[in-house]
Amino acid sequence: MKTMKMFFLVCSVVIISLSIVLALNYFKNKSVSEELPNEFERYQSIDSSKAIISGNATMSLLLESTEEIQSFLTPDQQVIIYTIPKKNTHSFFKVSRSGSIIDSLTINGRQAEIVFIKGFILDKKNLQYYSWSFSGNKRPINIITQNGDFAWNKEQQQKQLAEIIRDSEFVYVDYQSGDSPAPQKESGEAMQTTQAMMTYAILTYFINGNCTQLYTTIDISEKFPWSYTENLLFNNLFKYIDTSSRRTKAYIKAKEIQYRYFQKLTYEKVHFSGSGGYNPGFDEMLYSGNLFTDISYKNDTLRLKEFMYLNDKWHQSAIEINGKNIGTLTKNKVQPPENIDAYGYYSHPKLEYALFTTSDKKIFIIK
């Protein structure tokens, strides 16, 4: 009897001890006692503040988009910003040298139908383009087509291609498949009018601001590889195409941005669902907290903080503090994660302002 009582007593002590340990671990994981240094107490939250102010400098939100924002600097130093505020709506804004939005253009169409090419706007569905970025003309201009009926022979196509390579400012290549309108041979010698499938290229090129399209069946992949088209469609004042990294687009490092401190608030286990199919879900331990950053502009320093989540086991973000990569940062803790690779800063000697971004879908202006 005494043995049984002793057994139950020992079991009770073990259970209570385990409960205490689990509870302590739970609260340890949920709360991080990291006191904020005094120098960061007055940093302003970019999540909630309408403007970040320091001395004579003010940072405020300029534009937002539901998709990645594109940006382009015209030869007369006006910045064109391309946003998609809602599905099938394409909005373009022109920012003057002084930092004011002086004009805008909105076009409706599916995302795949509108292409932004070095300031020109191409409407693929309606075979039209806009020179608005340079001329201010909001009316669409019809695109001239060449060999649209595929009546040109190979020599004619090659001759025109040589002229395009020699004279055009740039060439946008698109591939399509469709029925060949040319007669096809069946059995016997007689020509029949049956149709066959073919793949062809559409070369959209610009000469002196005029847009023309050549339809061609000759192979142009060596002259215009995908890397050429990728560079042509890359309109981003904050990034460059990084061919040496898995990230095809990387932020240009700016001396004006200095990441100062990451304050850890909580530590918690987060479950992420699998990517579909048979891929299982997985758990990650994440810190929630604030990233504190200094942004230099002329003689002032804007001090801001942003709430985000940190995984310090992986290092997919390019954010460094005191020369050390702090980990992978995201704006949320659900699948798919909204990754924060870095911040972006853009300035130009002839602009009276600077641009700043915390994500692909927001642009702030500093002036």
Question: Which pLDDT score is estimated for 180?
Answer: 57
Question: Which residues does residue 304 pair with via DSSP β-bridges, in sequence order?
Answer: 44, 293
User: Cβ of 46: how many Cβ atoms within 10 Å?
Assistant: 23
- Write b or e for each residue in 183-209: b if 16 or more Cβ atoms lie within 10 A of its Cβ, otherwise e: eeeeeeeeeeeeeeeeebbbbbbbeee
pLDDT in tens, 127-167: 999 999 999 999 999 999 999 999 999 999 999 999 999 99
pLDDT in tens, 65-81: 999 999 999 999 999 99
pTM of the predicted protein model:
0.84
Taking the C-alpha atoms of residue 124 and residue 112, their distance in angstroms, rounded to an integer, is 8
Q: What is residue 26's three-state secondary structure?
A: helix
pLDDT in tens, 179-193: 655 544 444 555 555
Question: Which pLDDT score is estimated for 359?
Answer: 95
User: 15 versus 288: which is more confidently predicted?
Assistant: 288
Q: How confident is the model at residue 17 (pLDDT cuts 50, 70, 90)?
A: very low
User: Cβ of 58: how many Cβ atoms within 10 Å?
Assistant: 15
Radius of gyration of the chain (CA): 29
First vs last C-alpha separation in the chain: 84
